[in-house]
Structure 1
């Protein structure tokens, strides 16, 4: 039996694929987001998956689509045992092979993030995934090109599936998840304001202690951890896309003290705001 072993992982330029099987308890240690797209497929087991503003109960046969910069994190559901496949790729990875379809493919990451597939649909998708796994295991001549072709095939399959079916948002796991999602959306829309646990507790008529406890339970984040991550996420975008000063960006994302902003930014990203900006010059 495999025990918390990470199977096959392949990274090619702007693409990575990783298959993992675990039999012991595991929770992602940190929240994160990417400047690329993520596809997560659950072969076996179940997980709670926080994406952007709510938590989903992901089960075997579910397909998860993570848009660029959407914060996400998985935590244990009711059983620690699970097996999943994870694919990450940057937008320009498939651009030369899509004949102008890439924008339509990227649209699938802006719909509902979790697709619950039926048995036939699972079989079709898993057929493509198993080919991908075999390609990077065998590494025959031209496997990088074939992996890219298989990714395009999978994206086209998902795109057609969404267009063909009337996809509806998944129901909340319970009323507690729905309430926390409401709080998360409020934070996402007001991160630039002076937000505290006490101000939120007044806004939603919940005691600070209870709010802190349910927020961590449902999302996997503490309130402060999540708020800082949202703010730093926005700061990264501004550092990459504008010429605003670090002080101005700090103020825009909710930090009154630029020094404190710098400390939080480095804690989250590992580098200072100025060094981060220089990497994109």
Structure 2
């Protein structure tokens, strides 16, 4: 039987990024928290925490964290049912990709958050990376591009986000005056979210018939600033239709590759728990997303 005071201390150290910060959250001394983590490792018979800066869980530690968070979620549901939720709010850890967060995510769940005592602990990453957060037990559910459910999880289709390559008319005149020509495309400055982002390369490869060697990337890991940066005329870049629409209406942006679209199919993956709170949030998110995103078979 696990001593959950020990597990709670371990989770606090990982979640807060250090023993001192974890101790502050638990209203304990740093020494007491360190002792609890050590006792937990002795009980588990293995090392759970790499003492780095910040501390990070081992593979066994990730399994321990996932178990603790699932149990805590069920206990919070039970407490709410018994009228024992003293804080008044439930916290749900959710993984979401940056473009969804910048466009449809909050409109999809605004009504739910207005009517329910729920706080969100959001972790933001690319839609191909959020599943790692779910597998590691860092989040209860995530928006991802994978349709196959992770082991122990359920999955719901949310909808499609369509991306196109956009630029200002002046940029198009300078770099794409002859259309999408490989030599021009490879030297033209292009906006990229981060070094894991390959969406633009895949779309350009489809349009050109080969994958270009882009020599002038401009990195900007902010979905909110992406459209304004492209509208400056300095760079081209990929935008979802939801973000590009107002710029297109004003004539500030044009589609550089007409007829070429990169579609991301989004899904909600969450732990398959008998949790009333997680179920109600899932239902609200799926319903809201399907009203805002393109629905295709």
Higher relative contact order (CA 8 A, sep 6+): 2
Determine which structure has more spread, i.e. the larger CA radius of gyration. Answer: 2
Q: What TM-score, normalized to structure 1?
A: 0.20
